[in-house]
Amino acid sequence: MSTKTPLYDEHVRLKAKMVDFHGFVLPVLYGSIKEEHNHVRTKSGIFDISHMGQILIEGRDAFDFIQFVSTNDASHFKNGQAFYTLLCKENGGIIDDLIILKYNNDKYFLIVNASNIEKDYSWLKKYADKFSYLKVKNLSDSLGMLALQGPLAYKILNETLGGGKILPAHFCFSEIDFCSEPVIISGTGYTGEKGFEIIASEEGTVKIWKAVLETAKSDVIPCGLGARDTLRIEASYMLYGNDIDEDHTPVEAGIGWAVKKKGTTGYIGKKILTGQKSSGVKKKLVGFKTLSPGIPRHGNTIISEDGKEAGTVTSATYGPYIKKTIGMGYVISGMTEPGSSFIIRNNSREIRAEVVKLPFYKR
């Protein structure tokens, strides 16, 4: 059965095309993916991301626990900061990628992928038993979440909140009251633009959605999962289940920067990950642009110039803003340097492509 988000009625009223996404009914588009995409790049867009999960970690052992279960170094972040990190298995395979909001050393708020809420929660519970002073709470069912993204996001949110508020900077967060409800505002996103992710009660989510649309008029448009995907590919952000999964490690995925440096405290996956960091990996995620017509798709095989199987496409799209067909995929070492070329087998045709540096788009 599919779960309706608090904004379901709004999406239907706006005549969105709805799809099932990991058990949630969500809009894939309202009109055109291209228009929604470019509106976010030039003005702003608002997304219903209520499918995302939220898990609260509290207690005296919270800092040690976060250091142990996630790969990024939590000691680098101050109270009020948000950071990207990963949960990994002992063998380095990725359980999930997530954003953690650090309230203080005793309180962390985790934002996890919809597809992994249950898996993450039981993974965290399993290790939490080893810590004495720790509570793990899954808040996903009671909270809604929005993203307001784009160059006008700051102005719009400020006006919606009545002006004069100090909104959190990039990768910082704060709690504010909106219509006498507590709301978390985080300076994060998944589009490559500046903007905010907003977490509120189900009712609060609907109120904020309506208030933003009313305040910003044509400066903001509702955007669906389609544009969310094309925007994140241009910005070369990972999508769990496409680009990263339990069969790939952060080092292979090129996000080794979110893994603690050698010599820091123990954490799950340390042995494999520090080993891969120092001695390298056999396959690596690269970005590519196409050189011949056609858009490759997830799962297409990558063939080397001498005709050998050399990898797999994980994500690809036509980038509506950069106006190029781009994608990401794992290839064997030796083919990872920018300028290396290969062939992608897509149905009956072959698409030529060349490795390029990531990201494809940076504001």
Partner 1 sequence: MAEYLYTKDHEWVLQEGSRVRVGISDFAQSELGDIAYVELPEIGTKVKQNDTVCSIDSLKSSSEIFAPVSGTIAETNEKLKNEENCEIINKDPLGEGWIFVIEMENPGELESLMNEKEYKKLTEEE
Phi, psi of 115 (to 5 degrees): -70, -15
CB of 329 to partner 1, least distance (A): 17
User: Which residues, 6+ apart, have CB-to-CB distance to 39 below 8 Å?
Assistant: 45, 150, 220, 221, 223
Among 27, 204, 294, 327, the residue binding partner 1 under the rule CB under 8 A is 294
Report the residue number, 19 or 176, with the smaller CB distance to partner 1: 19
Among 125, 271, 349, 357, the residue binding partner 1 under the rule CB under 8 A is 349
Report the residue number, 226 or 250, with the smaller CB distance to partner 1: 226
Q: How far apart are CA 125 and CA 214, in angstroms?
A: 42
CA 196 to chain centre: 13
Crossing angle of the two packed helices 33-42 and 225-234, in degrees rounded to 10: 60
Size of the site for partner 1 (CB under 8 A): 20
Among 325, 327, 340, 358, the residue binding partner 1 under the rule CB under 8 A is 325
Report the residue number, 33 or 110, with the smaller CB distance to partner 1: 33
Tell me: does residue 29 bind partner 1 (CB under 8 A). yes
For residue 278, which of 261, 253, 264 has the smallest C-alpha distance? Answer: 261
Report the residue number, 218 or 348, with the smaller CB distance to partner 1: 348
Among 6, 45, 226, 269, the residue binding partner 1 under the rule CB under 8 A is 226
Tell me: does residue 32 bind partner 1 (CB under 8 A). yes
Helix %, strand %, coil % for the chain, to 5?
25, 35, 40
Helix (H, G, I), strand (E, B) or coil at 67: helix
CB of 228 to partner 1, least distance (A): 12
User: CA angle, corner 282, sides to 123 and 242, nearest 5?
Assistant: 50
**The dihedral formed by the CA atoms of 240, 241, 247 and 251, expressed in degrees to the nearest 10:** -30
- Single-letter residue type at 129: D
Tell me: does residue 320 bind partner 1 (CB under 8 A). yes
Report the residue number, 171 or 318, with the smaller CB distance to partner 1: 318
Among 4, 297, 345, 352, the residue binding partner 1 under the rule CB under 8 A is 297
Q: How far apart are CA 71 and CA 85, in angstroms?
A: 6
Q: How far apart are CA 161 and CA 158, in angstroms?
A: 5
Q: How far apart are CA 144 and CA 206, in angstroms?
A: 8
CB of 340 to partner 1, least distance (A): 23
- Integer Rg of the chain from CA: 21
Q: How far apart are CA 118 and CA 139, in angstroms?
A: 11
Among 230, 236, 274, 315, the residue binding partner 1 under the rule CB under 8 A is 230
Containing 62, the helix (H) or strand (E) segment is helix 62-69
CB of 43 to partner 1, least distance (A): 18
For residue 87, which of 99, 78, 79 has the smallest C-alpha distance? Answer: 99
Among 293, 306, 307, 339, the residue binding partner 1 under the rule CB under 8 A is 293
Tell me: does residue 295 bind partner 1 (CB under 8 A). yes
Interface with partner 1 in residues 238-267 (CB under 8 A): none
Report the residue number, 54 or 230, with the smaller CB distance to partner 1: 230
Report the residue number, 250 or 294, with the smaller CB distance to partner 1: 294
CB of 229 to partner 1, least distance (A): 9
CB of 239 to partner 1, least distance (A): 15
| 143-149 and 135-138 beta bridge pairing | unpaired
Report the residue number, 20 or 203, with the smaller CB distance to partner 1: 20
Report the residue number, 25 or 295, with the smaller CB distance to partner 1: 295
Report the residue number, 274 or 346, with the smaller CB distance to partner 1: 346
Phi, psi of 278 (to 5 degrees): -85, -35
The piece of 84-92, 120-128, 258-266, 294-302 that touches partner 1 (CB under 8 A) is: 294-302
Which residues sit at the interface with partner 1, rule CB under 8 A?
28-29, 32-34, 226, 230, 293-295, 297, 317-318, 320, 323, 325, 346-349
